[in-house]
Amino acid sequence: MRKPWNACAALLLLSVACGDDDNKTEDVQSDGTLDAGPSDPSGEVPGADAGAGDAATPPSGSEADVPPPEQGGKRLYAVRFDLRAGDAPFGCGKPAALGTTKTRVEPTDARLYVHDVTLVRSNGERVPLELHQDGRWQRERVALVDFVDDTGKCRTANPETRKVVYGYAPQQGDYTGVSFKVGVPAEQNHLNGAEAPAPYNASGMWWSWSGGYKYVRLDLTSPEQENWYLHSGAAGCSGLISTGFQCAARQIPSVDLLGWDPNSSVVVFDAEKLYATSDLSKAADSTPGCMGGKDDTECKPILNALGLEPWNDAVKGPEQTVFQIRAGTPWTLPAAGSTPARKPTNDPNVWPDPSYVRNAALNVPNVSKASNTRSHPVGDPRHGVSCMRCHQSNGPGLGIFTAAGSVFHHDGSPATDVRIEILSGTADRANQTFRDVKSYAILEVDRNGNFYTTEPLPYDQEKLTARILGPDDTVRANMYSTKQTGACNTCHTGGFRIEVPPLGQVH
């Protein structure tokens, strides 16, 4: 079975702690050093933002947040989602017996993007749902549906869920259907996920190697198989963020559902149907589950269930079976005048904010050192998400990072006795090394297990890779694939975090 490091092609991990202390305010001095001030109980962004000007606090993303009942003369509608296994509950802490072997599995991650949500009238008229622009879960035409509350086996470092898509449409009494597309539109799919605003900033929902988003992510664990992955998205993509991408197939399922009642129905994502012909008790190849490869035999039955023919947009796939309309609890319009709750700005999920005016005084060198303890420790809400959410031109982090991440031992403790090398070279998997190495940076890991740098790295010109070095400079782990960005936790988070192999082993 492939380890978490290799499963996403390794190092650009980042269960990240960005280079600010978790409980101190920090003032930028004239020489670029930091002065740690008193603790800040307010919950606002620590004083790396000092003097940067107040950014408008973006709305929060909890299930309790509901938009106004009317906007622009149109009524609010809610398309609600639920994750189930047939008629049984399924989700964090709620395992189910699935697949051909009825393997008792539990999710470690369960999220998907949807776009172009449309309501359908009884006469067949299709009415686009104008999504509420909350700046957290919904932006433009795209919404993130998140079933993960981080209980049970779930490991996304973000307990908030979002199982509803809010939008506005003319009030009609005969909406009887709903349709949507699964994934991210082509024009948004190749944003830089390391720097894009929510919901495009969701950790673990962007493939740095393909420069595109994971449309559906459903990761499973069981006693028989520690990890069984489903990451679906555009296939056969090549290019660079700076120059653009070409993809062999977009693989965006279209879902049309009849029998929808806006006041009571729920759109169910049925894992029992999704895995009806899959054996979840073992891996058919070196990567357990489906991660989109052309020769990945475990992908076809799953993508067929979603209504797709793998790697071939020109061929109409079978009818999708995964999404269904079920009866739910009653839903009513919120009271007029209600407003969404707001969260402290140290919530990493609200960054980056395109409207934020960054103070140039924040743009100072900031490089991790083995003796540092200033970065966010395990348990901080900013730990486990991409540092580049805050440490960029539209965020309040001290210094604009070019690479950042975290490293762990298998027991979950920070790996403080290693260093990270960023390099280019030709992978030599047989000998567990690289040829023609050009080293661009060797970063010390701080006492919280984090590494970061503001030094220039040529990600805009070429794809780079990385490896873990032990205290004696021996190679402890390699990442053989190349990446588009040094924002490691766009991929390496939760169950994909970087773990240092035991002594005597090299990955």
pLDDT of residue 388: 86
Return the structure tokens found at 55: 């950014």
The residue type found at 169 is A
Burial group, residue 461, by CB count within 10 angstroms (0-12, 13-18, 19+) = exposed
Q: What is the H or E stretch that residue 117 is in?
A: strand 103-121
pLDDT, one tens digit per residue, over 162-181 is 999 999 999 999 999 999 99
Among left, alpha and beta (phi > 0; psi -120 to 50; other), residue 53 is left
pLDDT, one tens digit per residue, over 178-204 is 999 999 999 999 888 778 899 998 888
Return the structure tokens found at 7: 């499963």
pLDDT of residue 353: 86
pLDDT of residue 9: 36
Low-confidence residues of the chain, pLDDT below 50?
1-18, 20-61
* Of residues 251, 215, 252, 257, the one with CA closest to residue 126: 257
* Of residues 405, 402, 433, 398, the one with CA closest to residue 419: 405
Cβ atoms within 10 A of the Cβ of 146, count?
24
- CA distances in angstroms from 263 to 79, 269, 345, listed in the order given: 10, 19, 34
pLDDT of residue 229: 95
- Secondary structure (3-state) at 142: strand
Cα 60–Cα 192–Cα 361 angle in degrees, nearest 5: 70
pTM: 0.75
State residue 229 phi and psi, 5-degree precision: -100, 150
State residue 173 phi and psi, 5-degree precision: -100, 5
- Contact residues for 473 (Cβ-Cβ < 8 A; gap 6+): none
Distance of CA 179 to the CA centre of its chain: 24
What span, in angstroms and rounded, lies between the C-alpha atoms of 141 and 278?
A: 32
What span, in angstroms and rounded, lies between the C-alpha atoms of 348 and 129?
A: 28
What span, in angstroms and rounded, lies between the C-alpha atoms of 376 and 449?
A: 10
The total number of residues shown for the chain amounts to: 507
Return the structure tokens found at 156: 């996304």
DSSP calls for 192-235: -TTTPPTTTT-TTSEETTTTEEEEEEEEEE-SS-S-BEEEEE-B
- CA distances in angstroms from 313 to 241, 252, 294, listed in the order given: 23, 9, 13
Token pair 């939760």 in the structure block, residue: 494
pLDDT, one tens digit per residue, over 140-151 is 999 999 999 989
